[in-house]
């Protein structure tokens, strides 16, 4: 459960950092670029703090968690509804993450 919580936090940091950089680029605001960069460093530290999984397993599981969190943010913040193809592709991503995670045991 700790691994999952840290991966959700890492996903939120990555999404937030990317959004801050995008905002900074659109408005030529260096402060937002710096905030985005610092947030992405925090993401990198958070996702790699867990050393109980091999890097490849960790990143495979993280991609599945990142997909779910990004879709939740997309829905909650931007009121975007996923297309059927996105839902199907997402189910495959999450299934792959579960195979990676459960197969590592």
Lookup: tokens for 91: 């189910």
- The tally of CA atoms less than 13 A away on the side-chain side of residue 57 is 15
**pLDDT range class, residue 102, cuts 50, 70, 90:** confident
| pTM flag (> 0.95) | no
Which residues make Cβ contacts (< 8 Å) with residue 15, sequence separation at least 6?
69, 70, 73
Q: Residue 33 has what DSSP assignment? A: H
Burial class (CB in 10 A: 0-12, 13-18, 19+), 49: exposed
Q: What is the pLDDT of residues 75-95, one digit of tens each?
A: 998 899 999 999 999 999 999
Query: Domain boundaries in the chain?
Result: 2-103
């Amino acid at each position: 459960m700790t691994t999952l919580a840290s991966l959700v936090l890492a996903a939120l940091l990555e999404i937030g950092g990317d959004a801050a950089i995008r905002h900074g680029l659109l408005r030529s605001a260096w402060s937002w670029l710096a905030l985005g960069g610092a947030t992405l460093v925090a993401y990198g530290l958070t996702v790699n703090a867990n050393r109980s999984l091999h890097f490849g397993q960790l990143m495979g599981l993280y991609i599945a968690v990142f997909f779910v969190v990004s879709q939740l943010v997309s829905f909650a913040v931007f009121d975007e509804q996923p297309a059927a193809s996105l839902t199907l592709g997402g189910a495959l991503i999450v299934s792959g993450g579960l195979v990676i995670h459960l197969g590592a045991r």
